[in-house]
Chains A and B, each alone.
Chain A
């Protein structure tokens, strides 16, 4: 394929690649939610070893670059898994684990924001630890966690762009490919950025709106 112009076909190609960005984001977000929930439980567990594990887990995933994590998983999986894995799987796994660390941080923070007295009140009416979490703590924590959790979706979507660097063809990688043949990187990447903006801006706005409403709703309660 020789040099050619940025055409409508390229637009279609980029939009098609967006599908993969979305799919990867959804997997990472859902997977991150599940893994994150488990790690959160470990993080607030009464067993010290579990707490310690959860803490280190978060510390390592949040204290190192996502790009490095992607590379490491990429090489680990290609070396130790005998069958050739699709890049999708590597990407999904790395992003899921990374997202789960964010989830843990957000949910732990939200749970800690619930006054100690709520636990005590729940315990005083004879609830087990699990029942306390399920019926009393979690429903309240969800309210607080909602805005940052939606915000996390933006972080996850943006994070998928790094999988381009291990060769997974999603939106950013598609942009590289298109700009490679059209030699119109400015137009191509601007268009790519615009697609990301369309995906992320509404989510950011929703997240901010939820947060504002939560604050407005809570202030009088606190004052009283």
Chain B
């Protein structure tokens, strides 16, 4: 048996793939932003003086990190209606992605906050800032900057994880691959093309986050140049 590859059959559905990419990226970006927020609060809770908050944050992180994302999605999408919470596929997927990635973000941001030196906190306190003000103005930005590379890798992992939300019927890239494949039966070509698209997305996100980081933390670059002057 010889198999003739017909990639043209896949590119006929280019508009589907485009739409899939758009949806995949939208989910990845929105979920990433929200999970940094979740992660910041998770990390704060972990460092809180209230034991209950510490424990809650810890349990959240451990449960999420030690169960498969797919099962978490199934609970959100198929399970929650049993207790009267009905999330649509999109909302369930977004919630799932944020909860999932938020746990990893919590651990990453926690390590960033830990890396901010105590003396910085004392300096903030010494000019009369409250603990909240110290956190907002002194701690969080250097903390996020320190863990920016880790958060960037996490972003790529999150983007790849979005393929799983096809399992609850969200029409993103992996879903569209399935649609195309059931329409034209060129399954191998479809999946090869889509895998390439994912790979390209990964590379784009990597260089994109690097550029964003250079812009966000411009003062670092400036000071490095200053040493060269």
- Residues on A lying within 8 angstroms of B by beta carbon are 59-60, 63-69, 71-72, 75-76, 79-80, 82, 154, 158-162, 164-165, 172, 175-176, 179, 184-190, 192-193, 196-197, 200-201, 204
Contact = CB atoms under 8 A, between A and B. Distances in A.
Contact of B203 (A63, A65, A68, A79): A63
Contacts of B174: 65, 67-68, 71
Contact of B195 (A68, A189, A192): A68
Which interface residue of B74, B164, B195 has the most chain A CB atoms within 10 A? B74
B75 A189 contact: yes
Contacts of A154: 65-66
Contacts of A200: 65-67
B188 A67 contact: no
A159 B164 CA distance: 11
Interface stretch (B76-84, B90-98, B221-229): B76-84
Given A63-B202, A190-B75, A172 B195 contact: no
Contacts of A185: 74-75, 78-79, 81-82
Nearest to B163: A65
A186 B198 contact: no
Contact of A72 (B66, B82, B195): B195
Contacts, number: 124
A154 B181 CA distance: 32
B63 A63 contact: no
B152 to A, nearest CB: 14
Given A65-B198, A79-B3, A79-B188, A204 B62 contact: yes
Given A154-B66, A172-B68, A193-B72, A64 B198 contact: yes
A185 to B, nearest CB: 4
29 contacts: A63-B199, A64-B160, A64-B202, A65-B162, A65-B163, A65-B198, A68-B191, A71-B191, A75-B191, A76-B188, A79-B187, A154-B66, A161-B68, A161-B69, A165-B70, A175-B74, A185-B79, A185-B81, A186-B75, A186-B78, A186-B80, A188-B79, A192-B74, A193-B67, A196-B66, A196-B68, A196-B71, A200-B65, A201-B62
B17 to A, nearest CB: 13
Which interface residue of A63, A69, A79, A204 has the most chain B CB atoms within 10 A? A63
Which interface residue of A79, A185, A190, A201 has the most chain B CB atoms within 10 A? A185
Given A65-B174, A67-B163, A71-B177, A193 B65 contact: no
B28 to A, nearest CB: 11
A193 B69 contact: no
Given A154-B66, A179-B74, 4 more contacts: A64-B195, A193-B71, A197-B67, A200-B66
Nearest to A165: B167
Contact of A158 (B69, B78, B160, B199): B69
Contacts of B87: none
A158 B67 contact: yes
B10 interface: no
B192 interface: yes
B116 interface: no
B99 to A, nearest CB: 12
Nearest to A21: B68
Nearest to B165: A67
Contacts of B156: 63
A64 B160 CA distance: 6
